[in-house]
Amino acid sequence: MRQLKALSKACVVSVVVAALGGSMASQAQELKKYDSSTKAFWANPPADWFLGDETQDQKGLVPNAGQPTPTPAADLEKILANVKLPPGFKIGIWASGVPQARQMAMSPKGTMFVGTFDKGTVHAIVDQGGKKVVKPFITGLRMPTGVAFQDNALYVVDIDKLYKYDDPEANLDKAPQGKVVYDDFPPYVPHGWKYLVPDGKGWFFIPVGVPCNICLPPTSTAQYRRVNPATGSAELVALGVRNSVGGAVDPRTGDLWFSENARDWLSDDMPSDKLNHVTRLGEHFGYPYCHQGDTPDPKFGAERKCSEFTPPVVKLGAHIAPLGMKFYTGSQFPPEYKNGLFIAEHGSWNRKSKIGYRIVFISVDPDGKNPKETVFASGGWLDGQKILGRPADILVAADGSLLVADDQAGAIYKISYSK
Amino acid sequence: MPAKSSACLLSAIVLLATLSRADAAPPESPPKPPAVAVTCVACHGQKGVSPMAGSPSLAGQPDIFLQYQLVFMRDGARDAGVMKAVVKNLTDEDIRDLGAYYAALPPPPPFKATGQVDEQKITALMQPRRCDSCHKEDFSGQGESARLAGQRPEYLVKALSDYRAGTRRGRGLAVMMEVSVTLRDEDMHMIATYLARKP
């Protein structure tokens, strides 16, 4: 039965691929050729870095505009009232007025640090008499999306630099001078926003995205590195990674798992975004040659086989934009959640009808076998085609509840469980 | 060839639809300015149409675009110069009110810009950069992307130069830097003249 199902699934996939291939062939002469072999080319990447393959039919699709100011608390309550969760779970506001909330990092003393996108600010959130106070802690950076707290220091990654702020809680009204502890990153801004994944041994896994939608990328990009902030040394961990802004280390094995955003402009339903698992150093995940483990790229796929590359553990869906993710290490939730993965779906822009804008849960064996995906939190953030919120990151709080950063509504939510 | 003619037909239809909608629209009462708008008029004009060189027109700009710029200038992400003091004490609510107000004002008439515009050169400059994908075919803007039609040309040149130099922080950082970095000064002037004259 299972085999039959797998077989029919494979047939659907190959039909889709054949259909895509056909329409691609007719467009072939219109496809632009990039000569990305020279350094000069990458000093000024192509002007059409993300719109280059847009068809007339897709015209008008643009990345979501977001929201300049945070949603007031009263309106947040209305959004959260429409969020559906499994029985026993409830969601509430943990903090409002947190513009562009991206990656979160909590200090052992309970200070929350939150990155932003192009606002260039890292906010600090403290509890004052039961009320959350949001302070712009570090300002004037470019895209400080990734943050981490480790050994009494705050780490912030901003496009091409990893900063360290020692003893940040000594004075939360004035951040200490940041120290650059690693700067061997390429300067590209497109997909240059990053995420920090502590490896548990003092280093960070850090993604380096490609400065384009689909291209033969500069060799300094399309990868995960492991960086030692104490010495500034680094190693390559994974290759062929288009754009990852979320990852986590499996508490059972220490392996890196990461979410990956697949290319745009192929179609509404292809290719799928991915959940990947790194099992050996230097593994290649397929970009730009092969998408979702089984679909050759129309421009770059001809000379390679998909079997050369590591396929995803889970195809998460086309354009759903998986960002922040965490293994559930708490004990508040029912036992079936232990060591499973929560992934924030930021939601689609490159397809006509919006999908994503929710949180999924994936239980999976440590070796990547038996993955099972279920929708954990949905509704509320997408009202018809209107975007009211975008889950961007997830954190497991000390009490075992789940904190969710929303960079559209500018808020952090708390999801808790009681029988 | 067929693709091109259908695109032309499409834009003709869109143009017609826009025109007839504008004709049919009932006259609306002019939007009321929020109290905080009083500090804006000296530089940006009584009705959001700027009388002052270097100061952009705000009338008819997309609501979201206006709000972002105010937030970025207030919070220090965008180097605001003289605007710094003006926006310093704005609340989020003020910013939402200002965005809604200026977005609702009728957009500026075509600006009488001097300078040469070579249609062929303009197409060669703007088409590969896909300006209309975000700013729309009539350059009226949408969401986070500014209205360019009818904007003061010297301001458009300043914005493009700032993106090229990497000194304009905030929204559009990635994409606008990529499209502007290969523009020469004279290209920017021609694009600005072309856009300023757009209705």
Cis bond before residue A86 (omega within 30° of 0): no
For residue A209, give the nearest of A232, A241, A187, A239 by alpha carbon. A241
Task: Read off the pLDDT band of B11 (50, 70, 90).
Answer: very low
- For residue A29, what pLDDT is reported? 36
Return the domain boundaries, chain B.
35-104, 119-196
For residue B123, give the nearest of B114, B110, B112, B132 by alpha carbon. B132
Name the residue with higher pLDDT: A213 or B10. Answer: A213
**3-state SS, residue A291:** strand
Contacts B133 to A, Cβ<8 Å: 51, 54, 59-60, 62
Domains along chain A?
Answer: 74-417 (2.120.10.30)
Q: How many residues does chain A have?
A: 419
Q: Is A143–B3 a contact, with Cβ atoms under 8 angstroms apart? A: no
Contacts B182 to A, Cβ<8 Å: 44, 47
Nearest-CA distance from B135 to chain A in Å?
A: 10
Task: Give the count of Cβ contacts less than 8 A between chain A and B.
Answer: 91
Rounded to 10 deg, the angle between the B92-104 and B63-74 helix axes is 140
A7-28 burial: b if 16+ Cβ within 10 Å, else e: eeeeeebeebbeebeeebeeee
Q: What is the pTM of this model?
A: 0.85
- The fold of the B119-196 domain, in CATH, is Cytochrome Bc1 Complex; Chain D, domain 2 (1.10.760)
HSE-CB of B174 using CA atoms within 13 angstroms? 21
Q: Is B173–A59 a contact, with Cβ atoms under 8 angstroms apart? A: no
For the four alpha carbons of A60, A63, A68 and A73, in that order, the dihedral sign comes to: positive
B35-104 and B119-196 in the same fold: yes
- For residue B3, what pLDDT is reported? 43
Whole-number Å distance between alpha carbons of A245 and A323: 5
Contacts A118 to B, Cβ<8 Å: 72, 77, 169-171, 173
User: Given a cut of 70, is residue A48 above it in pLDDT?
Assistant: no
Lowest pLDDT segment from A29-38, A372-381, B75-84? A29-38
**Distances in Å between the alpha carbon of A62 and those of A121, A337, A349, A376, B92?**
24, 36, 6, 28, 25
For residue A290, give the nearest of A220, A356, A239 by alpha carbon. A239
Q: In the 8-state DSSP scheme, what is residue A170?
A: G
| Mean pLDDT value of segment A172-179 | 93
Q: Is B173–A136 a contact, with Cβ atoms under 8 angstroms apart? A: no
8 Å CB contact between A260 and A274:
yes
**3-state SS, residue A284:** strand
| Mean pLDDT value of segment B82-87 | 92
Token pair for residue A221? 């990009």
pLDDT tens, residue by residue, A93-112: 999 999 999 999 999 999 99
Decide which of 3.30.420.40, 3.40.50.720, 1.10.760.10, 3.40.720.10 is the CATH code for B35-104: 1.10.760.10
Nearest CA in chain B to A211: B174
Mutate to test the interface with B, among A51, A139, A188 (most CBs of B within 10 A): A51
pLDDT tens, residue by residue, A261-297: 999 999 999 999 999 999 999 999 999 999 999 999 9
Lowest pLDDT segment from A165-179, A321-335, B139-153, B164-178? B164-178
- For residue A6, what pLDDT is reported? 42
Cis bond before residue A211 (omega within 30° of 0): no
Contacts B87 to A, Cβ<8 Å: none
Contacts A190 to B, Cβ<8 Å: 174-175, 178
8 Å CB contact between B31 and B98:
no
Whole-number Å distance between alpha carbons of A63 and A350: 7
Lowest pLDDT segment from A243-247, A301-305, B164-168? B164-168
**3-state SS, residue A324:** strand
User: Given a cut of 90, is residue A412 above it in pLDDT?
Assistant: yes
With 0-12 CB in 10 A as exposed, 13-18 as middle and 19+ as buried, what is B137?
Answer: middle
Using the Cβ of B142 and the Cβ atoms of chain A, whether some distance falls under 8 Å is answered with yes
8 Å CB contact between A148 and A198:
yes
Mutate to test the interface with B, among A48, A69, A210, A212 (most CBs of B within 10 A): A69
Whole-number Å distance between alpha carbons of B175 and A47: 8
Q: Is A65–B95 a contact, with Cβ atoms under 8 angstroms apart? A: no
ipTM of the complex: 0.78
Q: How many CB atoms sit inside 10 A of residue B34's CB?
A: 16
8 Å CB contact between A238 and A282:
yes
With 0-12 CB in 10 A as exposed, 13-18 as middle and 19+ as buried, what is A99?
Answer: buried
Lowest pLDDT segment from A116-130, B77-91, B106-120? B77-91
Whole-number Å distance between alpha carbons of A202 and A152: 12
